[in-house]
Amino acid sequence: MNLIFRNARLICPEGGEYAGELYVANHEIVAKAPAGAQVIDCGGKLLAPALTDLGVFAMDKAACRAGGIARIGLMPDQSPVLDGPGIVQRAADMGKPELWVHPIAAATRGLEGKDLAEFAINAEAGARAIATGRGWIANSGVMRRVLAYARDCGLTVIAHAEDGGLSGQAVATEGETATRLGLPAAPAIGEALAIARDLMLVEETGAAIHFRQVTTAAGFELIRKAKARGLRVTCGITPAHLLLSDINVTDFRTFARLSPPLRDEADRQAALAALEDGTIDLLSSGHDPRGPEEKRLPFADALPGMAGAETLLTLGLGLVRDGRIALDRLFALVASNPAKLLGIEAGTLAPGMPADLVLVDPDAPWQIDSDRMAGKAGNTPFDGLPVQGKAVRLFKGGAEID
């Protein structure tokens, strides 16, 4: 399909913000207007690269469409675990053409933290990275082998940063809130301990590592110093850990039961500072839809996770309005940087890139309502929050996704 997007505010992570037209031919962005093209009047709205959401736990087409997401990096924590080529290949094929799934294969068989999976074969089947999943690999010898094997295969390791010996069965961060509520809690230092060990192994092996969620001041400081030393390290965060703190679990609301758990206010402020100074490379949804049978339980018994795909873009736009980041930086965090980590040519408006585009009304007011979300479940800690900004049209390869 040949298209001309006219009267748009174009937002490109590499080209900045500018007014003008965008042209699409043969599923790609092109430099010149194609003949016989359909004209789409954008009415002054934002036209930007569609989002690539790295580190989600479920393929959820409806939620992704509502959130302006055209590609996902699917975590290996599936049933069955993404630890073999057949399973990886099926995962890569299951969302097309509306949603492209880029599987992230398990670092160890069954995500048990013991025997390494076959990285090279899984990569040939479509795996774009290797991950430890929801858990931490406690055995340092195993983690060293994971990093060395991934390095040789040209793959990034996506790690969960939480020392399992400290976190145990904890459901909250140690502090006044957990004490008042009587919740099993773990010290926040468990994150920094996990990061410090893995960074030492990265320095020794020369591998590339991405910490899927860093949420503490100590963790961010380790990442800063590692980047300054030239290590191949990146990190991400979800809007929840930027905008909420442990006081949001005061009413035992299980929608705020997350992994890692919400931190104290000092760590939240450190996260915002890390966003502003460029320490944080990716903003992702952490999409992990949970039904009532998993959330309508006592807080300590509920499973962690949130439905985040539908709210990632609007909460990111809120950070722009608050002056935390620029608009083009937002789309670097949610589009081009995730694509680079996965080795995908996507995420910018440059000619030759796939025409994965989202048309955004930045001023559209709406209220997040867990009972009316489009996805598989509505377990969002932002239930009831008034927000502004919405994806109004989504295009994958130039074809509109209804």
104 touches 83 (CB < 8 A):
no
Average pLDDT over residues 284-292: 96
Taking the C-alpha atoms of residue 46 and residue 237, their distance in angstroms, rounded to an integer, is: 24
Q: What is the pLDDT of residues 338-374, one digit of tens each?
A: 999 999 999 999 999 999 999 999 999 999 999 999 9
Place of tokens 């679990």: 249
First-residue to last-residue Cα distance in the chain: 16
Nearest Cα residue to 30 out of 68, 58, 3:
3
Over the chain, what is the mean pLDDT?
Answer: 97
Does 187 have pLDDT greater than 90? yes
| 143 vs 95, more confident | 143
Q: What is the pLDDT of residue 1?
A: 78
pLDDT over threshold 90, residue 107? yes
Query: What span, in angstroms and rounded, lies between the C-alpha atoms of 235 and 398?
Result: 31
Portion of the chain with pLDDT greater than 70, in percent = 100
Domain residue ranges in the chain: 50-347+364-369
| Architecture per CATH, 50-347+364-369 | Alpha-Beta Barrel (3.20)
Phi, psi of 366 (to 5 degrees): -160, 170
Can you give the pLDDT at residue 209?
A: 98
Distance CA 368, CA 142 (A): 42
CB 119 within 8 A of CB 136: no
Consecutive H or E run containing 236: strand 232-237
CA distances from 401 to 157, 329, 377, 391, 392 (A): 32, 25, 21, 12, 11
For the whole model, what pTM was predicted?
0.96
Which two three-digit tokens encode residue 62? Answer: 């409806």
| pLDDT per residue as tens digits for the range 8-53 | 999 999 999 999 999 999 999 999 999 999 999 999 999 999 999 9
The pLDDT assigned to 7 comes to 97
Of the pLDDT bands very low, low, confident and very high (cuts 50, 70, 90), residue 337 is very high
